[in-house]
Homo-oligomer: A and B are copies of this chain.
Amino acid sequence: MNNYISENKDRFLNELLDMLRIPSVSADPKFKQDVLRTAEFVKERLSEAGTDKVELCETAGYPIVYGEKIIDPSLPTVLVYGHYDVQPADPYELWNSPPFEPVIKDGKIYARGACDDKGQMYMHVKAFEVMMRNNTLPCNVKFMIEGEEEVGSSNLATFVKSNKEKLAADVILISDTGMLANDTPSITTGLRGMSYLEVEVTGPNRDLHSGLYGGAVANPINILCQMIASMHDENNHITIPGFYDNVVELSEEERAEMARAPFSLEKYKKALDLSDIHGEEGYTTMERNSIRPTLDVNGIWGGYIGEGAKTVIPSKAFAKISMRLVPDQTSEEITEKFTRHFESIAPASVKVLVKPHHGGEPVVTPTDSVAYKAASRAYEETFGVKPIPVRSGGSIPIVAMFKSELGLDSVLMGFGLDSDAIHSPNESFGVFNYMKGIETIPLFYKYYAEMSR
């Protein structure tokens, strides 16, 4: 099998580069045609690889690419999930090479989506091709590749609800997470949920001269800053009433287990050029970004932001705010608590508007399942060491949805690294990691089929 992979390595890489050249930014309507082209691209590659019934399933948004290979209905079925859309690439000026003109440098593929999730999703298409060409596919496979993950998978749930039979499977396989290091593989066993909102604060009904009005009217930017600032206390606890009500605290044992994962605070600070870390009192850095909920402003704007100076008191100020959630918080609950709180702390001198954007539920996946064990064994065989189970701070809201709608657990076989800078300028994905994925995934199928007997 490794022969087929090594013989086709260049083609596997070039096909990925071709896909990375298409700017499938789902958040920005001006890329609509490119997102659609990417769906077509995935569809064609899937059928070339050997899936049947390949189709673009229309949704209210971008289509979901579906394809399957049923070799024997009595055998278990693996449902592969991935997404072909990518994050916006701005700020463009911070990229060393154009985000949609992939380059391979020092063993890494640089492009928006290289890791998240085009690279990791495409490993599955190629791993499937490998098994087909070598006649080693040991069970049934279904592919469900969506185009709206970066905007909250808004239409996936509807699709899943109305296609339960088509999607019937025994386990869901996803590569949209990372691992600790190339010599320290890991499997993600938990994900944070999310509540993403946009807020608008309105002061006067028009922009005002800051000289003639300054001091006498509420400046919506100053007020928005005060409201945002008030949502953390001096210990960086979030002050929204009831925010922590449903947070499951880990036991000392669980925290001790987590602490066993290799982590160097010095390296962490150095990598991000931070003179000091910052976070919730009473928790370690690893805990803060995985088992604790957050409230981060992802974007803020208001007033004059052009060159030079303008002495204006703007009529409005805006912010995009997201909260990462942990078991057993729910996005609906937190969105509602945030909204009520934000409205309650607004002074009478302004009007506020809260627009919920999208949300997703936190999830913890079992480590005692056949799927987890098969994945663990596959990593151990290709990396030479047993993978460590880790809880990630990221969100893949659909994992919880798959559980509730299809009753299926997911196994999260990530091959990316923190240094891949997903969602950042100069996103990358190691050629080593891409090929390791293509090599490891078929082993998962092998052991999963064996252990399922």
Contacts and interface: CB of A to CB of B under 8 A. Distances in A.
A324 B29 CA distance: 42
A425 B26 CA distance: 33
B322 A311 contact: yes
Given A301-B300, A320-B309, A289 B424 contact: no
Interface of A: 26-29, 87-88, 90-91, 94, 150-152, 178, 192, 194, 196, 203-219, 221-226, 228-230, 232, 272-280, 285-286, 288-289, 292-314, 317-320, 322, 324, 347-351, 357-358, 392-395, 418, 421-426
Most buried by B among A94, A272, A276, A298: A298
Nearest to A313: B296
A204 B272 contact: yes
A392 B212 contact: yes
Nearest to A177: B212
A300 B303 contact: yes
Contacts of A228: 221-222, 225-226, 229
A322 B214 CA distance: 10
Contacts of A311: 194, 196, 298, 322, 395, 423
Given A215-B324, A218-B278, A225-B226, 10 more contacts: A91-B207, A192-B211, A194-B211, A206-B424, A214-B324, A221-B300, A225-B297, A225-B300, A303-B320, A309-B322
B303 A209 contact: no
Contact of A313 (B27, B204, B298, B395): B298
14 contacts: A87-B312, A194-B311, A196-B311, A206-B426, A208-B424, A212-B393, A213-B393, A216-B285, A217-B272, A217-B277, A274-B349, A297-B303, A298-B304, A311-B423
Q: A interface, by DSSP: helix, strand, loop or mixed?
A: loop
Contact of A280 (B215, B232, B304): B215
B307 A299 contact: no
Contact of A310 (B27, B203, B306): B27
B28 A279 contact: no
Given A349-B275, A421-B206, A297 B216 contact: no
A244 to B, nearest CB: 13
A316 to B, nearest CB: 10
A306 B28 contact: yes
A334 to B, nearest CB: 14
A275 B232 contact: no
B300 A302 contact: yes
A271 B208 CA distance: 12
Contact of A212 (B276, B289, B305): B289
Contact of A88 (B203, B216, B297, B306): B306
Contacts of A219: 296-297
A288 to B, nearest CB: 4
A298 B310 contact: yes
A305 B299 contact: yes
Contacts of A299: 221, 302-305, 310, 312, 314
A206 B298 contact: no
Given A196-B309, A212-B289, A217 B421 contact: no
A289 B393 contact: no
Contacts of A308: 26-28, 88, 151
Given A204-B273, A228-B222, A424-B207, A217 B307 contact: no
